Structure 1
Amino acid sequence: MKHLSRILLVSLFLFGLSNVQAQDENNPWAVGIGINAVDFYPVGEDAPQGGMFSEYFNAGDHYNVLPSVSRLTVGRYVGSGFSVQLAGSVNKIDKFGDANLDDLSYYAADGAIRYSFKNLINEEGWFDPYLGIGGGYAWIDEDGQGSANGTLGFDFWLTDNIAFNIQSTYKKAFDDETGLDHFQHSAGFKLAFGGKDTDGDGVFDKNDKCPETPGLAEFDGCPDSDGDGIQDSEDDCPNTPGMAEFNGCPDTDGDGIADPQDECPTVAGLKSLNGCPDADGDGIKDSEDECPNEAGPAANNGCPYQDRDNDGVLDKDDQCPDVAGTKANNGCPEVTVEVINELNEYSKTILFDLGKASIRKESYEALKSIAEIMEEYPSTVFHIEGHTDSQGSEKFNLKLSDERAGSVRTYLTEQANISSDRITSEGYGEARPIATNKTAAGRQQNRRVEVSLEKNRDQE
């Protein structure tokens, strides 16, 4: 204790960079061990004692020190900077001011209420000065005396729980006649403990924003499950490491779109396509583009429009994409007068049984040729006309002509596989002669089947 001021300076230097807690509601209990020195000199009495605080630091001449652990303390924090403390100490007295004595025993028990100024200075700091008042009882060579005590002390917190302590207590005896006023100085270490940490994460419940879930001190006790530096409560992907710019979510493909919002999280893509790529830049993501490496419109599933038959009509608009046609006929070939004439050259050779609608077998070759021509015009609807001469009743002739036209239609649709919606038929009886019915040759011409152009599909 001879160089108390120097000890204080060294302590300040060594522990000045510490950022610690103290005995508080987090560590309410504290126990301490140390040494003590009893000084009867600077108490304001007559010789062999000096005036108040006279030679206060003269340890060599006036301090009584027992060279061993000689002081024990136990304390409890009660709140708002206040704590209570009980202390017990032993010593040997061989100096009474300037006088020397035989070794007298010294025992003391003291209680005090202390107030810490640490929170007023720096709540997170290491420097913890305090004042205390209380009382005690001391036995000096078996003579007991009570005293009122006043204390000034300093705790220097080395860690959250351990402090180096120095203090000085003035003990004013209650009995002015026989009591011995004196100072008792002490130095030692104290251990604070007893804080509540429900989740065991090292952050006391008082300061733990997640007291029932283990977490990190940097997040006030809250967890960061994926270790990405973003606490779970603010992390949109708490179990997958991510980046702060994406609220803790990853961007696996590095395209600037967080995985939860990225429809193609493992392949770099475009924001406009929710993170999916568009290799040909046609605005259709590759997964939905039938031609991902060749630009084309959405209406054609991402493929460019084609014209397979090279007729100048794109396949998308071409009703006959594999057969060259005309724009006017939506890409399908148009039936010309020459074609109709060719059809009717064949139809003139179609023969029926006498007075019946049944087709004679020698007409099948002509019907096959008619079907082949019709196949070349897949969008055209043909009309089969049935005609008779004027012999017989008009009613019979109308019925016969209609049945014969129907027989030709049936053969073409059922035997030649022409779509039934591409052929119509009707009988006109004797109403549309092309020659005179007065001669056999004329009547022969009037008994006929003709093929005409009904209408195109796009007109339906």
Structure 2
Amino acid sequence: MKTYAFAITFLSALTFNFSGAQELKLTSKDSVVTSSWVLGLGYNIVDDSATPVGDDLFSIKDTWNALPYPSSISIGRFFKNGLGIKAVGSYNKYDVGKKVDGAINTVERDYYAIDGMISYDLNKIIGETGWFDPFLQAGAGYSDIGTVGRATANAGFGFNTWFNDKWGLNFNTMGKWGIKEGSTKQLQHSAGVVYRFGIEKELSKKGLEKLSLIEENQRISDSIAAAKKAEEEARLMAERLAQEKEKARLAAEEQARLDAENKRRSDLENKIKDLGNVYFSLNSSYLSKPYKELLDKLAVLMEENPALTLKVGSHADSRGAEKYNQWLSEKRVKQTLDYLIGTKGISASRLTGEGFGETQLANECDNNTYCPESKHKLNRRSEFEVLEF
């Protein structure tokens, strides 16, 4: 009994894991930025005490020089292989009383520096995280301190931490050794905001593993689906063969019915067409005697075909204002309907009407075209459309 219960539990867990895997989807978290441009803006601190990595390393009050506003800017290009190149410009001030080059500074001095650095992303060794990028950097630069310049060889380390694909923070420390004999060394720390652009992304290692699992699950799912499809197709084929004969019979009957219906519609439309349209005089909705006789014949046709319903569409010619012509066409359709319903006794449920103004001219006689009265008259009409029969 225990063995049986264990088997059921195992199979349930397996089914749950498989169905859960089936729902795996790649998300933005499965991709990492592999190359980009990075623009940075931040603060810098300079320790130029002559022994910045010795006893004075943490003598912040005595040796660190900093400004209360952003004082460094950088632009860099970082590549898929982990290498990056960066240019950094910074400004600072050496305060009076700070230790500089091993002595107490007695005059406030401006500090300018420009540095070119090559970096290597340590994630290429320790593995991508997507949000934390430690790096090593080395390069060269030039510092101008109170009009005294020095070329430096630089090396250091730092890291970026990213809030999303574009925005993050940068922290780094860089040692600067004077190349000229007798020059002292500096230690420059910086922290700031960084912005990535020109981004290229690829799947991370975990993303690739997830993609592989998704593809494997899809392969299994496709195999199962293919087997079910083959079985279903065989069943449907048997049903289809049985249904085709019946379908053919029903199709023949339906076609015969449609042919008869279409012939009847065509006959009715031809009879209505033979009666013609109702035409009106200029600026009039009055039904003259010939067109009352036409409507009398139409009423007889509707009495002979009790299921026949019609739509009356009335129109105006293009002369006159559009609003007036719309109003006039609506009067014409009302006059036509009133005669058929009120005079001839046709049920109102079998008739609908719509006035179209001058929007559906029967010929070229628009506002920009001269036409004789004989052509304009063809547009002042009520015509009839079969809706149901």
TM-score interval, normalised by the smaller of the two chains:
0.3 to 0.5
The structure where helix makes up a greater share of residues is 2
In terms of Rg, which structure is larger? Answer: 1
Q: TM-score, normalised by structure 1?
A: 0.39
TM-score w.r.t. structure 2 length?
0.45
Greater strand proportion? 2
Give the number of the structure with larger relative contact order, counting CA–CA contacts within 8 Å between residues 6 or more apart.
2
